[in-house]
Structure 1
Amino acid sequence: MADRFAIVVPAHNAARHLRRTVESVRAQTVADWRLVIVDDCSDDETLAVARALEQEDARIQAVTRPNGGPGAARNSGLARSDPSAPFVSFLDADDVWEPDALEVLLAALEASPRAPAAHGRGRYIDSEDRVLHGGEMGWAQRRELRGTDLRVLAPHEPTTFESLCFANCIPSPGAVVIRRTALDEAGAFDEDRAVMAAEDYDLWLRLSLLGPLAFVDRVVLGYRVHGSGISGNRGRMERSELGVRRKLVGRAGLSPEQRDLVQRSWRRYQQEVAAGKLRHAAEDLARARLGEAARQVLRGLRAGARSLRPLDAP
């Protein structure tokens, strides 16, 4: 009998946290899974840690590949996974699951048989698994543009294409379980460097075109905050998200209404970003942090300028 879950952990220079991440997989309340750890040509002891974990549990496989970024590593792991496993999840090598993460996400998919995937919420943790910032990930609020108004989705509502058009409201790949049939239809991660820091966002958008994603209104993932993650580079993340949206607006098969929604959502999102940066600038100014206030003003002006320009296809 096939395992229900194929889990892929891409790992680059992740020796410090990899064991803790895999321990959170082994602690799941469901045990019928197989895990592929993909070492993405690390410079540290990541591969040695992965090999040791492989020896400890027959459900774990460690592989290595030339460096290609997280999307390429996830795709390599997916290719090595059992194709008969009906559910797939991608857990970053420094994040951790709540013990029943797979169980509750599977229950959401069983309750919504047409949903291509299910996701929950995440919370910030530090290098010692301590909760940061109250645990809240405010940027992951689910909102969609209706006319000129932003509507917050209720907890019982699924995550729609419209809400993902406005912003990436999914905290990390590990907060998601995907039906393999939907992943086969949508396609795997885009390995283009133009979207490398937001290749997960690109996949969520493509999945949402197949149907709304089931949502679980509870924390399923601890998202580790440190300086070495690829998403820690704000400029690179912004450029990658722009690349994702440009790719989307040029996608064949979108209706005129969907294409218009992508453009309007982009403009409104940039307006929201600009307003937020200017609020932060005012707070910094009140605390006499003049340098940071100036940087926030500059970021706000850039976002405002972006809101005035339509997206063009790549």
Structure 2
Amino acid sequence: MKVTVIIPAYNRADFLEYSITSLLRQRDVVDLDLLVVDDGSTDETPQLMGRLMAEEPALRYLRQENGGVAKARNCGLDNLLPETELVTFLDSDDISPLGRFAADLPLFDEDPTLDITYGRLLYVERLDRDALEPAADARSVDIRGIQLACIIIRRSFLERVGHFDEEFVQAEDTDFLLRVFESAPNYKITDTSCVYYLRHPGNITKRIDEGRRFFMRALHKSVLRRKADPSIKSVGAIFENQNPERLEFY
């Protein structure tokens, strides 16, 4: 099955090649289509992508005026290949662990009615870029959190959920995932390590007050949807509590 990975990027030339390489090394188990959506970068991202695409036919590159990560992800959704059957995401400063696809993709073959798999993520403070693994002495926290790289979603179900809400500057992933699980998918929760989420000073989530505001907006919109339509059930205990004591380096 063709899997499209949507990678939004904004001024991440220093990280992006590593993210892409972490996906390409898994081509032996997955038919990959990597779609990088450049949200108006002013760094060397266009030049980097020109070089990488000359070497790798699985890579596609789209560029838009700066409009935010939600708009970039929607651009990716609007440009899926006709043959794409499954969709997932990776941020341009994160790493896809080796074995991520080998673990979860067979579940879709085993159950043709399966809409979604959802796994785990590892917060990590430092990466070994040569090995594309957490640095040996880096602190890390393994949780099942809110992270789009943890989901693989069947395209037919994705079309029922719709696009990202472009009003969200942050927590667009929270809003999207709440809508996904409110839509009553046939889903499988896995213990697969789906992403190494690198913590660094440039993370947008470092803007904590803004993040909390948009997170609460996502929760409020979920409440309003369920109030308007009582048939919509609340999302169960899928996401783990991110205890600040566990994320001391966060």
Deviation at 1:243, TM superposition (A): 0.8
2:72 is the alignment partner of 1:73: yes
Equivalent residue, structure 1, for 2:140: 135
Question: For residues 143-163 of structure 1, what are the alpha-carbon distances to aligned partners after superposition, in whole Å with 9 as ceiling and x for unaligned?
Answer: xxxxxxxxxxxxxxxxxxxxx
Q: Note if contact 2:120-2:193 (Cα within 8 Å) is conserved in structure 1.
A: yes
The answer for the alignment partner of 2:4 in structure 1 is: 6
Residue 178 in structure 1 maps to residue 176 in structure 2 = no
User: Contact conserved, 2:94 with 2:197, CA < 8 A, in 1?
Assistant: yes
Structure with the largest fraction of helix: 1
TM-score by length of 2: 0.83
The answer on whether the counterparts of 1:120 and 1:218 sit within 8 Å (CA) in structure 2 is yes
CA RMSD of aligned residues (A): 2.7
1:72-103 alpha-carbon deviations (Å, 9 max, x no partner): 10111222220331101111101111122122
Return 5+ residue gaps in structure 1 as ranges: 141-168, 281-314
Match of 1:243 among 212, 217, 221: 217
**Cα pair 2:100 2:192 within 8 Å, conserved:** no
Count of matched residue positions in the alignment of Structure 1 and Structure 2:
234
Q: Deviations over 1:97-126 (max 9, x none)?
A: 112212222123344544421121111232
CA offsets, 1:167-215, max 9 Å, x none?
A: xx33x212211110111001121111xx331111111111112225312
TM-score of the superposition, structure 1-length normalised?
0.67
Match of 1:191 in 2: 166
| 1:221-279 C-alpha deviation (Å, 9 max, x unpaired) | 11111111212222111111111011111126531784xx58xx9xxx9xx89xx77xx
Contact 1:116 1:182 in 2 (8 A): yes
- Which stretches in structure 2 are left out of the alignment for 5+ residues? 246-250
Q: Give SS of 1:97's match.
A: coil
Cα deviation, 1:2-37, whole Å, max 9, x if unaligned, reads x61111110001001100000011101324121111
User: Percent of aligned pairs with the same residue?
Assistant: 27
Larger Rg: 1
Q: Which residue is equivalent to 2:24? A: 26
Query: Residues 98-137 of structure 1 correspond to what in structure 2 (within 5 A)?
Result: 98-125=97-124, 126-128=126-128, 129-131=133-135, 134-137=139-142
Greater per-residue strand proportion:
2
